[in-house]
Structure formats: structure tokens, C-alpha cells
A and B are shown apart, each in its own frame.
Chain A
Amino acid sequence: MNEATTAVDGTAMAGTATEAATGKAGAPSPVFGTMLDDVFGKDSLFGKIVNIDFAMGAIRLVLAVILGLLILGIVVSIIKRLTARRGDSRLGPLIVKATQYAGFTLITLNAFKMAHIDLSALLGAAGIAGVALGFAAQTSVSNFISGLFLMSEKTFSIGDVITVGDITGVVYSIDALSLKIRKFDNLLVRIPNETLIKSNVINITRFPARRLNITILVTYDTDLQLARRILMEAAMANPAILRNPEPFFAVQKFADSGIELFLGVWFPIDSYEPANNGMFVEIKKRFEAEGIRFAYPTMTVLQSGQAVTAQQVQPAPAVQPAAVSTEGVQSKKSRASAARKPAAPA
């Protein structure tokens, strides 16, 4: 028993020694192969998989992936530099992203090939997986395609102040799938590109100058020529207001509670605060000094055809930007009133 064992072991040992000496194992480093056999056990399932061929292949695969990533990094940095030099903040990030995705795909395909994984089988399965992925990636693809359209339209760029829906802020970054806006209260908002395609986008800082629209409601006893002169003087005295285009004045309409005046003044886009605040403060100050009264909604209530009382109805701001009109509020109150006088200031 012992001899037989010895004989068997001796044969085995001799055979191994011969293979090691002649290098017939097919591995470049028989010693390394033996070490693998020692570690994993030659006859074990793991030992059959993890042989010297596998180890070399794995090293080549890792090296190829690292090299691929390095080359991709260099290409991406060159593209970034080129797009930055061109100053195109919209298209640049998109090209970079597309290059990255294409690079990663190539590296992955190459890795599969080096690992001797049959891609045809994978591609066969891709038909089914594609349907599943198509459903899963529907939103992302839609956002990506929307991003391309947005880039081509060049409606805004990084640093512009835009309004999307009820969100207003500075464009912080333009990415492949979304747009990031930094609101004025320092909150970051991510808006999917698809939403931007479907929404009205207002670019506030696209042009060098803007017009500030001011609607003013004054009482019916106001001298309109005097009001016009005061408004024009207030505009010309404000350094934030542009001299050209000249301020625009108009009498809008005879409203329920007073005469509605309109003043449009132009200001550079970087001067909103001094233009807006300066105009409103100055108009109020000058009107009060000249005895011009702001009108606010009033109604007269008749009781049993006897007593007549003028009653103030919730004062509304009389000077307001046109964008925030209170016409709706006024008309509702007007409908509620039984009788009405055109001018009845408190």
C-alpha cells in the first residue's frame, strides 16, 4: 500500500518535474503556475479556472482598461481646453460628455473582447435588454436629445439670469441631462432639459439693456401734465436710468378707481436694483411733495336709498411694476360694489 502510494506519488512528482524542466505546461512561468496550483489546488474548480493564462489575461485586461482611461482622459482634457478657448459654454460640456460616453463604451467593448467573452451572445441578449433599457432610459435619452436642441438654439449660457416657470436665477451649469440654476436665495435647482424644451424660458440678461415698466394709479383730480413732468424728471435724475432710449410715458386708461399711468424706463441689465428702487422711492417722494395722490380701490355703499357712505376697500399698492398688476382684484371688487364713483380717495 505504502509502496504503491509511493510509486504513484513518485510518477506524479517525476512527471511534474519533467514538465517543469521542458516548459511543456504552456505557461510562460511554470514556477508562477505551480504557485497558483499550490494556492488554489490544481484539481479544484477554482484552480482549473484560475491558471496562468487567466492571470496573464487579467493583467492585460487591467492594463488595457487603465491605458484606455488614460487616453480618454487626455482626449477629454484636450476637448475641454478647445471648447473653453472657443468660449462656448453650452456646447462644450455636451461634447465632453459625449466623448466620455463613447470612450467608456469603446473601453468596455475592448475589455469584453480581451476577456474572450463572446459579444455575439451578448448582442443577442441585447435585443431583449435593449427593450428593457429603452424603457428605463427613456427619460435620460429624452433629456439628452432635448439638451442637444437647447445647445443648438443658444438661448442662454452660463452666467445668464433666466426664468423657467416660477424659478429665476443664474445659470450655474449646463449638463447633458439637466440645467442647474442658482437662485438668488442661493438654492441650486436642477431642471431636466426636457422641461426646458417644453417651457417658456425668459433670458433676462441676454440684451445689454432692459425696460422697467411702472404702472401708477393716480386720483382723477390729478394734473396729468404735472404727473408726466415729475415722472420724466425722476427718470432723468436717476443715474441708473439710461438717457437713450428715452423714458416712455403713457396714460393707460381711466380705471375704476383712478387714472392709470405708465412709465417705461430703460436701464443696463446690471443696474436693476438702483433703477427699480430709485424710481419707486423717487416717484413716491416727488408725488407726495407735489400733492399728487395715489388712488386705490374704493366703493360707495347706499343703504335703503338714504345714507351714502364712502368706504375704503382694502388699500392696494398704487405704484407697481406692470408685471404684478392688480387688475383682477380690482375688477372683482368692482363687481361686488353696488354703486361706484370714479374718484373717491380716502
Chain B
Amino acid sequence: MPDTMATTAIPALEWGSYPVPSGSEVTRHRFGTTTMHISQGRPVPGEPELPVMKVAITYGPDDGSVEPVWSFLVPARMDHSYIIRPVYPSDPVCIRIDTPLSLARDATLEGWFTSIIDLELVTGGLAVTTYPLEPPFRTLFGSPDKGLVCRFGNAAFEFQESAAKASIRGCQARVLHPVRLRNSSDDKITVQDLVLYGEQLSAFWTGTHLQSETVAFTFGDSGVRMSVDSQGKRPADWTTLATPRVSSEELALGRSIQLLKSITGM
């Protein structure tokens, strides 16, 4: 595997800033199996000239077989460049692990899995829109009467770091998550679905792939709780591409209110 890794060329980082194409030119950005097409919009004849961008997302091969369906964007502010950056989906993502994991009482398991990330388009300093880099299927985590509707994702759970990194080497649409699973309940549990709240995570470009902080899932008798180990040291050459949208203070406050509600029944 290391030999293969050494020979595979890493594509240049696609995330970044680009000039708005002139005239009818179209710029294409390829992320995994998804292509983003961007072009300058043509003002409507007879209407005042507005800065308009044309954007389209196509899933599948980028061989022209899929005709892009354009959306016209009229940003509040627009300069002659735009930024595309990764952003975690606003909805929680339910990752279905290919092979269910069995955890004995008090057992801890470390491993790796990946999740798909969204694309955010920024121009004039303002985030204009986001696009999922895979068709956004949804799923239900939990029972139909109390469950949580979340973005669907499936991934393999890797026990080896090298295998995990090799699986997404050069891919800029998926993020690698180091995870730690802990069963603090009184019984043995089987884990197949993990709900990932991306709003709490960062995304770093390591030079070969995107990676997040270590995510811990603690399974208790009352449910599962996700927490982020954001204190871990990261190499200096990693580039931060996405930062958490929710601070740890906000999370702590939100959780305290939820706890109070559940205790008091308010």
C-alpha cells in the first residue's frame, strides 16, 4: 500500500480562490465524482446590468454526458473572484458503517471513517450558496416516532490509519475522521449508525487528504453523545479549510438547557 501511495499523484488543491470566468467561459471544479460548473451570467436584455453568476453541479463522469442545469446567482456583493471552500452539511450526517461493530461493556474502540462534505461558494466576502458533493439522500436515525432525520452517508470503518488514509488519498470531497467509540452502558451494544454533527468540526488539508479533529462517541444508557477532541496537536503544515460553526461554549449552554428540560420536564 505505501508503494501505491508513493506513486499516486496528488491533484492540486481545488479549494481556493478563482477569478470569475469572462464572457461565456466556464470554469469546472472536480471533487470526486462531482463537478461544479461556474460561469458569468448574462444580464437580461433591457434590464439593468446586475452581477450575475451561473452555477451548476453535476454528479457522475465529467465527459459532457450530463448537461448542467444552471442556477443564476445574484450576490449582494460581488468582486471579480470567488472562493470555493469545504463546509460540513448543516444537517447532521448519519454514517452507516458497512460492517456493524460490537462493543462490550466499558470497551473502547479507535478507528477511522470518512464522510462527504459540502461546497460553499463565497464572493464579495459573503457566502452565497452551498452544494452537496454527493446527491443528498436522507435517512432516519432512531425510531419513526422519535428519530432524527439526517443526511445519509455510508462508510467503511477502518482500524488501521494507513488503510484509512490510503482510501481517500487525493480525494477532496471526503473528510477522514479519527474516532473513538466507548461503551459506558451496562450492556453490550452493536454500532452501525453514527450521527456526526459537522457544525462542531474543522477540516484540515494534510497535503494528501481532508481530516477533522478526533471525534468521540460515548454510548450510555440514555443514548449516545458526540464530543470533539479539539485540543490535540496538529502538524504545522496542515491548512485549515473549515472551522467549527458552533463554539464549545454554545454547545455546553445548549446541552445544559436540554439537560434541564429533560430533568424538569419543562
Cβ contact within 8 Å between B138 and A245: no
Question: A242-B149, A242-B152, A244-B140 provided; 13 other pairs, C-beta below 8 A?
Answer: A86-B266, A208-B140, A211-B144, A239-B137, A240-B138, A242-B139, A242-B140, A243-B138, A243-B139, A244-B193, A245-B140, A245-B144, A266-B144
Give 18 CB contacts A-B under 8 Å.
A86-B266, A207-B145, A207-B146, A209-B144, A209-B147, A209-B149, A211-B144, A239-B136, A239-B138, A242-B138, A242-B140, A242-B149, A243-B152, A244-B96, A244-B139, A244-B140, A244-B152, A266-B144
**A268 in the interface (beta carbon within 8 A):** yes
Inter-chain CA distance A207–B143, complex, in Å, is 10
Give the chain A neighbours of B149 by CB distance below 8 A: 208-209, 242, 268
Q: CA separation between A301 and B228, bound complex, in Å?
A: 74
Bound: A207/B136 CA distance, A: 21
Question: A239 contacts which of B135, B140, B141, B193 (Cβ < 8 Å)?
Answer: B135
Please pick, from B139, B144, B266, the residue contacting A207 in the complex, using a CB distance under 8 A: B144
Question: In whole angstroms, what is the CA distance A211 to B144 when docked?
Answer: 9
- Whether B147 contacts A208 by the Cβ 8 Å rule is yes
A interface footprint on B66-94 (CB within 8 Å = 1, 0 otherwise): 00000000000000000000000000001
Closest-CB distance, A240 to chain B (whole angstroms): 8
**B193 to chain A: which residues have CB within 8 Å?**
244
In whole Å, how far is B136's beta carbon from the nearest beta carbon of chain A? Answer: 6
Kindly report which residue of chain B lies nearest to residue A271, judged by CB atoms. Answer: B138
Q: How many residue pairs bridge A and B at CB < 8 Å?
A: 44
The reply to whether A208 and B266 form a contact with Cβ atoms under 8 Å apart is: no
The interface residues of chain B lying within 8 Å CB-to-CB of A209 are: 140, 144, 147, 149
CA distance A245 to B143 in the complex (A): 9
**For residue A86, which residue of chain B has the nearest CB?**
B266
| B148 within 8 Å of A (CB atoms) | yes
A105 and B245 CA atoms in complex are apart in Å by 53
- Complex CA–CA separation, A268 to B91 (angstroms): 13
| Min C-beta distance of B184 to chain A, whole Å | 25
> Chain B, 114-142, contact with A by CB distance < 8 Å: what is the 0/1 string?
00000000000000000000011111110
Q: Which residue of B lies closest to A270 (CB)?
A: B149
A246 — nearest CB in chain B belongs to which residue? B139
The closest CB in chain A to the CB of B152 belongs to A243
Docked pose: A268 CA to B94 CA in angstroms: 15
Q: A-contacting residues of B (Cβ < 8 Å)?
A: 94, 96, 135-141, 144-149, 152, 193, 266
Chain B residue numbers with a CB within 8 Å of A86 are 266
Which residues 191-241 of A have a CB within 8 angstroms of B? 207-209, 211, 239-240
Measured in the bound complex, the distance between the Cα atoms of B138 and A244 in whole Å is 8
Give Cα A243 to B135, complex, Å: 13
User: What B residues does A239 contact at CB under 8 A?
Assistant: 135-138
Interface string of A86-108 (1 = CB under 8 A from B): 10000000000000000000000
List residues of chain A with CB within 8 A of the CB of B145: 207
Q: How far is B135's CA from A244's CA once the two chains are assembled, in angstroms?
A: 16
Closest 8 CB pairs of A and B: A243-B139, A244-B139, A268-B149, A243-B152, A207-B145, A208-B149, A209-B140, A242-B140
CB distance from A1 to the nearest CB of B (A): 90
Binary contact readout A242-284 vs B (1 if CB under 8 angstroms, 0 otherwise): 1111000000000000000000001010000000000000000
- C-alpha gap A239/B94 in the complex (Å): 15
- For the complex, what is the distance from the CA of A245 to the CA of B149, rounded to whole Å? 11
Measured between beta carbons, the chain A residues less than 8 angstroms from B139 are 242-244
Residues of A within 8 A of B152 (CB): 242-244
Cα A80 to Cα B260 in complex, Å, equals: 22
Q: CA–CA, A244 to B146, complex, Å? A: 14
Kindly list chain A residues whose C-beta atoms are within 8 Å of the C-beta of B144: 207-209, 211, 245, 266
Q: Which of B96, B136, B140, B146 contacts A266 (CB 8 A)?
A: B140
CB nearest to A244 among chain B residues: B139
List A contacts of B140 (CB < 8 A). 208-209, 242, 244-245, 266, 268
- Docked complex Cα distance between A277 and B129 (Å): 27
Give the CA-CA distance A239 to B140 in the complex, in Å: 13
- In the bound complex, residues from chain A placing their C-beta under 8 Å from that of B266 are 86
For A238, give the chain B residue with the smallest CB separation.
Answer: B137
Complex Cα gap A217–B94 (Å): 35
Nearest B residue to A210, CB-CB: B144
Docked complex Cα distance between A248 and B221 (Å): 31
Distance of A207 Cα from B94 Cα, bound (Å): 18
A243 adjacent to B137 (CB under 8 Å): yes
Minimum distance in angstroms from B188 CB to a CB of chain A: 22
Return the chain B residue nearest A269 by Cβ. B149
Residues on the B chain within 8 Å of A268, using CB: 138, 140, 149
Residue of A nearest to B138 (CB): A242
Give the distance to chain B from A279, nearest Cβ to Cβ, in Å.
Answer: 14
Distance, CA A323 to CA B135, complexed state (A) = 31
Chain B residues whose C-beta falls within 8 Å of the C-beta of A242 in the assembled complex: 138-140, 149, 152
Alpha-carbon separation in the docked complex, A207 to B148 (Å): 10
Q: How many Å lie between the Cα of A293 and that of B141 in the bound state?
A: 37
Bound together, the chains give a CA A243 to CA B134 distance in angstroms of 15
The chain B residue sitting closest to A267, CB to CB, is: B138
Residues on the B chain within 8 Å of A266, using CB: 140, 144
Select from chain B the residue with minimum beta-carbon distance to A87.
B266
What B residues does A244 contact at CB under 8 A? 94, 96, 139-141, 152, 193
Report Cα–Cα, A86/B260, bound state, in Å: 13
Complex interface: chain B residues within 8 A of A243 (CB): 96, 137-139, 152
